[in-house]
Chain A
Amino acid sequence: MFQRMIDKSMAKSPWIFHINAGSCNGCDIELVSVLTPRYDAERLGFRLTGTPRQADIVVVSGPVTSQTKDRLVRTLAQVPEPRVVVSLGSCPRSGNVFKGSYCVDGPLEKYTHVDVSVGGCTPKPEAIMAALAKASEILAEKRKEMRQA
């Protein structure tokens, strides 16, 4: 019964950790605006956490530059299972306007499995909210799989 209660609360309390992998700061500002009173992601239980050790959802923005690549991989390795990776904006997906640059080592898929991807430059807060809600559903499913395995 306790396990089932944990399963249920998994989707209700996803904590977000945000990694900036060379982003232009546009997506980062939109992510913060999701947490402001206007959109209020906290009503779904979202909370921005300061440490990857307590994160459930990792949000990555930026085209993964060669400077941030190693840090990105190391930080992702520090997040405990079950975890969900969300790519925010067009940059981690395709490289956007930075594609082909000598200092861009993207896309993000090369380094980790991406569960949810939001397109846009920058995506609207509504789209980010929808992606985060989807991510918390995936989180609960992953937890169930982990328990059954």
Chain B
Amino acid sequence: MTTLLWTIFHVLVFPGLLFCVVVGLLLAGLDRKLVARMQNRVGPPLLQPWYDFLKCCGKETIIPRHARRGLFLAAPVLGFAALITAALFIPVFSYSVYSTSADLVVILYLLTVVGVSMIVGAAASGSPFAGVGLSREMVAMISYELPFVLVMLAVGRMAGVGTPLGVTFSLQAIVDWQAANGNLLFHWSMIPAALAMLFVIPCEIGMHPFDIAEAETEICEGTLAEYSGPPAGLFRLTHCVKMYVMCALFCVLFLGGISTGYAALDALVMVVLSVVLTFVTMSVPHAVCARFKVEQVFKFYWTVVAGLALISLILVWLGL
């Protein structure tokens, strides 16, 4: 009975739904506020993403005549559910709920499901703007997946040298290794991988300089072109929660060893680090850069970012 209650608590409250949504909305609000301050504006209130979500819940849902009704409405729910499930596998430093032998692979696939659900929803809406958007979303996914996997391989090799396989994909093992041997961010051979991961974060989320799929000035919000009302709100919420999930993943992969031993304090440290990461990886590029072209994103990720990740991978494999 208590295990069942604990499971419900884990899924709905602490590393799961409530915590993710609250922190995600906070990060999104902070991002908008920070960008506004950097542009010398007052900016929207901190709770603006929350108001946006609520407002979308109060609007009419229009289903276009050419849309596949079931798929069109299921896609945002599927994406959101996959993202929350991914969040359950990410330990809040030492506090891990569902640690398996290969959580990293599970997370990689679940994050892909989030992107794919957006593509499926766009395809089901039957709009040409969404069609252009989904093809761009695919290009973005292909761009960041390669460096993302290379970073994971480098981290897995570094933390799994002593294991029988020589490589580990268990986040718990990676966190334990860092607690014993120091954070991966401060091992010189891992610094290029950490930089690559910092570049992967905004593209994975679809933040401003890399938001080629949702280019609202060119292709009418792209993948979201036909969405209105609660489904559109759910897509926006997924976007906010993804900000937290990616930041948390970076913290665990590269700063996993700074556990304090108390779950509540760990969660607080995680939130603070996520705010810092949001500022560095999302707000500053948003305020400074204009949107990249589709082929520029692809080229940048497969040369510079993948190159950085590859350097780390080679250094780690050579045992440095």
B225, A51: Cβ atoms under 8 Å?
A: yes
Interface segment among B42-50, B247-255, B263-271: the answer is: B42-50
CA distance A37 to B35 in the complex (A): 11
CA distance A13 to B104 in the complex (A): 37
Nearest residue, chain B, Cβ from A7: B58
- With A37-B41, A51-B220, A80-B60 in contact, do A42 and B227 touch (Cβ < 8 Å)? no
A5 is an interface residue with CB less than 8 A from chain B:
yes
Nearest residue, chain A, Cβ from B130: A51
Nearest residue, chain B, Cβ from A139: B55
Chain A interface: which size bin?
20 to 34
A50 is an interface residue with CB less than 8 A from chain B:
yes
A51, B39: Cβ atoms under 8 Å?
A: no
- With A51-B129, A51-B221 in contact, do A80 and B61 touch (Cβ < 8 Å)? yes
Residue with the highest number of chain B CB atoms closer than 10 Å, among A9, A12, A54, A78: A54
CA distance A10 to B57 in the complex (A): 10
Count contacts on B: residues with CB < 8 A to the other chain. Answer: 35
A53, B62: Cβ atoms under 8 Å?
A: yes
A70 is an interface residue with CB less than 8 A from chain B:
no
Chain B residues lying within 8 Å of A13, measured Cβ to Cβ, are 48, 51-52, 54-55
B224 is an interface residue with CB less than 8 A from chain A:
yes
A6, B55: Cβ atoms under 8 Å?
A: yes
A49 is an interface residue with CB less than 8 A from chain B:
yes
| 8 Å CB contact of A42 from B44, B54, B56 | B44
Which residues A104-136 have CB closer than 8 A to chain B?
none
B41, A80: Cβ atoms under 8 Å?
A: no
Chain B residues lying within 8 Å of A37, measured Cβ to Cβ, are 39-41
Chain B residues lying within 8 Å of A50, measured Cβ to Cβ, are 216-217, 219-221, 225
Nearest residue, chain A, Cβ from B226: A53
CA distance A7 to B220 in the complex (A): 27
CA distance A49 to B55 in the complex (A): 14
Residue with the highest number of chain B CB atoms closer than 10 Å, among A43, A47, A56: A43
B229, A6: Cβ atoms under 8 Å?
A: no
CA distance A82 to B229 in the complex (A): 10
Chain A residues lying within 8 Å of B187, measured Cβ to Cβ, are none
B41, A42: Cβ atoms under 8 Å?
A: yes
Chain A residues lying within 8 Å of B227, measured Cβ to Cβ, are 53-54
Nearest residue, chain B, Cβ from A50: B216
CA distance A6 to B57 in the complex (A): 7
Interface residues of B (CB under 8 A from A): 32, 36, 39-45, 48, 50-52, 54-62, 129, 216-217, 219-221, 224-229, 232
